[in-house]
Amino acid sequence: MDSDKKTKNFEILEWDPYLKPFEDNFHLRYGKYQEWKNTLTDESGDLVKFAKESYNNYGIKIDETTQNITFSEWLPNASEVYITGDFNSWNTTECPMDKGDFGWWNITLEGYQGEDGKVHPKIEHNTKFKLFIKTPDNSEGFFRNPAWSKVAHQDEKDLLFTNVMWNPAEKYEFQHPRPEKTNGLRIYECHIGMSSSEEKINSYREFADDVIPRIVYGGYNCIQIMAIMEHAYYGSFGYHVTNFFAVSSRFGTPEDLKYLIDTAHSHGLQVLMDIVHSHCSKNVLDGIAQQDGTDYQYFHSGAKGEHSDWDSKIFNYDQYEVLRFLLANIYMWIEEYKFDGFRFDAVTSILYHHHGIGVGFSGDYHEYFSMSTDIAGVAYLMLANDLAHSLIPNGVTIAEDVSGMPGLCIDIEQGGIGFDYRLNMSCPDTWIKYLKEFKDEDWDMKHLAHVHTNRRYKEKTIGYAESHDQALVGDKTLAHHLIDEEIYEGMAKDYHSEKVDRGIALHKMMKLFTFGLGGEAYLNFMGNEFGHPEWVDFPREGNGSSYKFARRQWNLADDDNLKFKFWRDFDRDMNLLEEKYPFLYLYSHQYVTSTNSDDKIVVYERGNLIFIFNFHYTKSFENYKIGTYWDSDHICVLDTDRAEYGGQNRLEWNKTNFLPLFKEAWDDRPYSINVYIPSRTAMVLCPRQFLKEDA
């Protein structure tokens, strides 16, 4: 590390001189990353080979020709290990495994000649099997699922998951290549199980056939799927993972998931996965906790290995086999299932020993570089990003971090941790705060603009007005906050209400404000594009195991007699605006020209467009002077007040109605235009020289 410190000049320290006093910390985390990378690749040569060989050589593998099953499992505390299951009537002593080096246990189960003349595997496809383990402390033995299990099925009676051999005769073959990387991600966050309008758990194939066309129609170019890794409790939204290599069987089979991803790729959609490497379910009987009888096999021992807020286990990122397990996991999801990247959940928990529990972050750099920082966790995230981007250079990695760690989305060699994007979590928090705590007349335009532009230099962020977090039971979506109980009775097309009219108008404005100013990408949670009227509440004891609130009522947006379609159609045209006039990229021109809290006006330039918002609750403005950077007349290309969006059509724009330019400077811009801005409306203007022919 000392030689690195002398020779390595991190560019991030030049971009932000306030980081210079913490230079040793950057060398410390980079040194830890390099140390582990060198250790892991000592034999294989590079990180991709290490992850590939780990995935191919460990866990469960079947030779297609001989049908021999080779099985390897890391159980360092075990004294005896056996394979048992349906194939041998659960005989716990028939198939002992051999102990190898470093706590790895191995066995080969040879294929056999069947009466049909074909070679069959000893464990048939779709049959159950487990490990039977004895330890120095437990000579009677106990059952465990393999940690590298590909499929696990839940028992209807005891609700426990049991490993299942997955070896179908017909394996899915991908037909479509990965889409090209886009500079303007418009992400559709979704959950497979609750994507049906029926009160049931939806399937991968139903989602592919029924929901993906809606996503494509809506103008999104990326889907981010939650709850793919197997999890014992449906209501956890997929965040209490029990089986890291297993596809959630609630929604279908591995082949079904591959069909979904291939279908998305056929439409040009990138597919990201919510990956949970920040913690693990404490379940012992169907998870990997205490798999070999200890609490420290994959995790820290004792209290250090417990996440008190989530009642889950914390990985020990400074252990060789843990890194093998997690990096091989990344390799599998990319190579076998063709995911295009990941949204890493709860990155804050990985970055710090305190996991963010009871800690508030003010932005003081000492909060990021101290004894509280888990250097091993930081190094793991660097390794994970290194591997993901080596496997798919066009891939995407996203960090969910509430702390604001500097360099999170900077290239590793420049001093960063290597993510592509971080979630701009302050945007939804601010909108909810405004709706809960402030009257319309007290909204602060300068503060709104500051929240949406307050991001680190060269670090890309994803803006969103609401995600699945705001849709959960106990909270409310923006639509529900705005319209309240009238969202059930006041959304008929011929029904008029001041509250509904306000809600329809502000919902569009808030989304557009964040879309244009909140980051270098945009995210929406499934159903929020049309203001889904109800929260998400998974079946549980407290609601009678009901699926009523664990679904999406697509029919509401499809019904021409209801107003939900206004939100859906506006959301679509908002996405298509960015597709036509790209502005969601790192070096896109961005300039906030005006934040007038008295008039409730915000004006900003993004890309080659001007966004104008009038949040005033009653006042419209005639001939309101707006500064502009461009030397030409302008025309409106998006207007929230159009009738097809549920507005009053007060502007009556058409394709030839250009706003004349004045050579008078205004708001520190060289030119100006005069516009009519009705109350509670937003518009987007395009200078003539950038106007597309079909505008």
DSSP state letters, 167-209? --SS-----SPPPPP-SSEEEEEEESTT-SSSSS---HHHIII
Given 130, 149, 164, the domain boundary residue is 164
Task: Answer whether 283's CB lies under 8 Å from 242's CB.
Answer: yes
Residues 225-241, mean pLDDT to the nearest whole number: 94
* Crossing angle of the two packed helices 23-40 and 47-57, in degrees rounded to 10: 50
Contacts of 437 by beta carbon, 8 Å cutoff, 6+ apart: none
Return the number of other C-beta atoms located less than 10 Å from residue 321's C-beta.
Answer: 18
**For the chain, what is the total number of helices (H) and then of strands (E)?**
18, 31
Residues of the chain above pLDDT 90, percent: 92
The domain tally of the chain equals 2
pLDDT at 667 over 60: yes
Q: Tokens 């990021």 appear where?
A: 368
| DSSP character at residue 537 | -
Average pLDDT over residues 318-339: 98
Does the structure show a pLDDT above 80 at 1? Answer: no
Q: Classify residue 175 as exposed, middle or buried by CB count within 10 Å of its CB (0-12, 13-18, 19+).
A: exposed
* Listed residues 148, 164, 180: the one ending a domain: 164
One-letter amino acid of 550: A
Is 406 exposed, middle or buried (CB count within 10 Å of its CB: 0-12, 13-18, 19+)? buried
Q: What's the pLDDT score for residue 43?
A: 82
Element (H, E) at 423: strand 421-423
Residue 646 in any domain: the answer is yes
User: Residue 262: is its pLDDT beyond 50?
Assistant: yes
What's the helix, strand, coil split of the chain in %, to 5? 30, 25, 45
Distance from C-alpha of 147 to C-alpha of 241, rounded to nearest angstrom: 11
Q: Is 458 within a domain?
A: no
pLDDT digits (tens, 9 = 90+) for 79-109: 999 999 999 999 999 999 999 999 999 999 9
CA distance 453 to 451: 6
**Could you tell me the CATH number of the domain that includes residue 146?**
2.60.40.10
pLDDT digits (tens, 9 = 90+) for 105-127: 999 999 999 989 899 999 999 99
**Which of helix, strand or coil describes residue 372?**
coil
> DSSP letter string over 631-681?
SS-EEEEEETTSGGGTS---S---TT-PBPPBS--BTTBSEEEEEEE-TTE
Confidence label for 231 from pLDDT (cuts 50, 70 and 90): very high
For residue 675, is it within any domain?
yes
pLDDT tens-digit readout, 440-498: 999 999 999 999 999 999 999 999 999 888 888 777 899 999 999 999 999 999 998 99
* Arithmetic mean of pLDDT, 351-357: 96
Structural domain includes residue 224: no
Residue 380 CA: distances (Å) to CA of 62, 113, 208: 30, 46, 33
For residue 3, name the pLDDT band (cuts at 50, 70, 90). very low
DSSP string, 561-578: TBSHHHHHHHHHHHHHHH
Question: Has residue 138 been placed in a domain?
Answer: yes
Reported as half-sphere exposure (CB side, CA atoms, 13 A), residue 338 has a value of 23
Name the DSSP letter for residue 299.
B
pLDDT in tens, 406-456: 999 999 999 999 999 999 999 999 999 999 999 999 999 999 999 999 999
Q: What's the CA gap between 121 and 513, in Å, rounded?
A: 58
pLDDT > 70 in the chain, percent: 98
Known catalytic residues? 345, 400
From 164, 196, 216, give the residue that closes a domain: 164
Summarize the confidence of residues 271-297 as an average pLDDT.
Answer: 97
Q: How far apart are CA 495 and CA 505, in angstroms?
A: 15
pLDDT at 275: 98
Q: Model's pTM, two decimal places? A: 0.96
Given a cut of 90, whether residue 693 has pLDDT beyond it is no
Alpha-carbon gap, residue 486 to 490, rounded angstroms: 5
Q: At CA 465, angle to CA 462 and CA 470, rounded to 5?
A: 110
What pLDDT is stored for residue 7 in this prediction? 66
User: Is the residue at 141 inside a domain?
Assistant: yes
Q: Are 643 and 570 spatial neighbours (Cβ–Cβ below 8 Å)?
A: no
Token pair listed for 216: 């494509």
| 450 domain-assigned | no
The domain of 86 spans: 53-164
CATH number for 622: 2.60.40.1180
Which residues on adjacent β-strands are paired with residue 673?
Answer: 626
Distance CA 575, CA 567 (A): 12
- Cα–Cα distance list, 345 to 82, 242, 305, 309, 503 (Å): 35, 15, 18, 15, 31
Q: Phi-psi bin for 43: left (phi > 0), alpha (psi -120 to 50), beta?
A: alpha
Give kind and range of the element (H or E) at residue 153: strand 151-154
CA separation for the pair 217, 51 (Å, rounded) = 37
Average pLDDT (600-618) is 98
Residue 86 in domain: yes
Mean pLDDT for all residues in the chain = 95
The helix (H) or strand (E) run that includes residue 331 is helix 320-335
